[in-house]
Copies of this chain bind each other. A is one copy, B any other.
Amino acid sequence: MDKVKHVSSRSYGQFCGVARALDVVGDRWNLLIVRDLLCGPMRYNELKTSLAGIATNLLADRLRSLETNGIVERQLGDAGVLYALTSWGAGLREPMEALGTWGAPLLERGREGDAFQPRWLANALPALLRGRTATPPLEIGFEIEGALIVVHLDKSGPRADLNPTHRPTTILTADPDTVVGLATGTLTADQALATNPLQGDPNTLRKAFPHKHPPPQ
């Protein structure tokens, strides 16, 4: 008696876009895999260590089901297997950014020993800064746990690059909490500067993060 290969996660059986979406990405870990892949293709073990806690059989299962559902594709590269989002899978960026923005207040309680990957912050920053523009364009680096995230603010909106080749002149060295505080507006530039070392011009940081958000009504 051959084991039925656990073909599909239980469908909600509802004629509804949200329900059908959750049928294919609603299972545990799925959206976090997608979040990681939004920064670019990754290897199996990269994913496994980044997700920090996922069981290896689950990761394999999830990647298989994401692949059969057309969200992820395997790329046989020169250096082995790479997992990447398909173009349809990449369309999950908007829902994920919306979800991350909604969940940002939950980050205010701090790290609490949670795992952290610079990639997650690079993903979140453009969404958190959406609507903010700057003329002339501003460019600020955040050095954080050994990585460098460069945020660009100009009239086309915010962008973030992870470990780019080019280093900006203004770089704040801080921990994840501080950067999130700046982005969500619970921290002012001067509050951040009080405890974190900055290379370059403090006014660049002040211009990008001028004041706290008004309290949420």
Instruction: Tell me whether A17 and B106 are in contact (CB under 8 A).
Output: yes
**What residues on B are CB-neighbors of A128 within 8 Å?**
17
A11-52 vs B, Cβ < 8 Å mask (1 yes, 0 no): 011111111111110101001100100000000000000001
Instruction: Tell me whether A99 and B35 are in contact (CB under 8 A).
Output: no
Bound CA span A81–B176, Å: 42
**What residues on B are CB-neighbors of A217 within 8 Å?**
87
Bound CA span A95–B103, Å: 10
**What residues on B are CB-neighbors of A18 within 8 Å?**
31-32, 35, 96, 99-100, 103, 120, 123-124
Bound CA span A65–B61, Å: 28
Bound CA span A53–B115, Å: 36
Bound CA span A16–B56, Å: 21
**What residues on B are CB-neighbors of A22 within 8 Å?**
31-32, 99, 103
Instruction: Tell me whether A21 and B103 are in contact (CB under 8 A).
Output: yes
Instruction: Tell me whether A102 and B107 are in contact (CB under 8 A).
Output: no
**What residues on B are CB-neighbors of A58 within 8 Å?**
none
Number of copies of chain A assembled together: 2
A114 beta carbon closer than 8 Å to chain B: yes
A94 beta carbon closer than 8 Å to chain B: yes
Closest to A11 in B: B114
Q: Which of B16, B24, B96, B114 contacts A100 (CB 8 A)?
A: B16
**What residues on B are CB-neighbors of A102 within 8 Å?**
17, 21, 91-92, 94-95
Question: Could you list 15 further interchain pairs (A-B, Cβ under 8 angstroms) beyond the known A13-B114, A17-B102, A17-B106?
Answer: A13-B52, A14-B114, A14-B116, A14-B117, A14-B120, A15-B116, A16-B100, A17-B104, A18-B32, A18-B124, A21-B100, A22-B103, A92-B102, A94-B102, A95-B102
Q: Which are the 4 A-B pairs with shortest beta-carbon distances?
A: A21-B103, A17-B100, A20-B106, A95-B98
